[in-house]
Amino acid sequence: MHRFNFFIMKYLSIVVFLFVTLSCGNNTPESYTEEYPIEQAFETAYENDVESTAKEAVSRKLIKEGTIAFETQSIPETRKQVLAAIKKYNAYISSDQEYNYTDRKSNALVIRVPAADFDNLLNSATAGVSQFDTKEIKVKDVTEEFLDVETRIANKKKLETRYLELLTKANSVTEMLEVEKQIGELRADIEAMEGRLNYLKNKVSFATIHLTFYKTLATETAFGSKFKNGFKNGWENFIWFFVVLTNIWPFILILILLLVGLRWYLKRKKKEKK
């Protein structure tokens, strides 16, 4: 019996010894982790830094855009009304173009207005218009893209911070150059995404209105047009005739004096012959 107990104790001692040995063998020394390739350290740093928390509730990000076209009886009066509405609602004109055709004169504006005042400005600028040639309002929801870009920027910046920390711990020039290369690529990505985010913020904050108003001009017959042009050309030529006379009046005066002198000479000659 004592021999059996001794055997059991001996067996348990061997098992405990082996367990402790194996446990110690699995612990990696600090110096060993420093010998890992720098790329593996980058990947580990990125994976440990990505957050898995749920996104907070945010307001919808909407891009609003309108296209309006209508006929008016007075372009100056309509333009005055539109400019007053723009000033009232703190909007601004990003494009202003005028077109003059044979049968039509028009004014095309691109207006940027704070999104909250989109409807107010539109109603004020088109007050009194009974019929629209075009009236189209579009709303695009960019909430998902907005949040995606924000999240990607946040993650890229965290990864950039980790790379900067690794740069201070680089043990060789090769590792340092590799880290700096990764930081440069990250910075380029961050700036590109920030540019896209700023574009979305501007589009969300300021709605866009493409506003065109025009006046139809009375068409003329071919005879009426030719008669009008002929009268206009004749009057212009008459004016130019007097302009030319004004420029050459000294020569005309000399010519008149020569003619008078020649006539006096001829008369004198005639008297002498008699």
Q: Are strands 104-114 and 206-216 parallel, antiparallel or unpaired?
A: antiparallel
Q: In terms of pTM, does the model score above 0.75? A: no
> What is the chain's pLDDT, residue by residue, as a tens digit (274 residues)?
444 444 445 444 554 444 444 444 444 333 333 433 444 444 444 444 444 443 444 689 999 999 999 999 999 999 999 999 999 999 999 999 999 988 899 999 999 999 999 999 999 999 999 899 999 999 999 999 999 999 999 999 999 999 888 888 888 888 888 888 988 999 999 999 999 999 999 999 999 999 999 999 876 555 666 767 777 788 888 788 777 777 887 878 888 888 888 878 777 777 776 6
Helix axes 222-247, 249-273, angle to 10 degrees: 60
Domain map (residue ranges) of the chain: 59-219, 223-251
- The alpha-carbon radius of gyration of the chain (Å, integer) is 45
Is residue 211 classed exposed, middle or buried when 0-12, 13-18 and 19+ CB atoms within 10 A define those classes? buried
Q: 97-115 burial, b for 16+ CB within 10 Å, e for fewer?
A: eeeeeeeeebbebebbbeb
pLDDT score for 35: 39
* φ and ψ of 131, to 5 deg: -145, 135
Among 107, 105, 115, 97, CA closest to 68:
107
pLDDT score for 188: 93
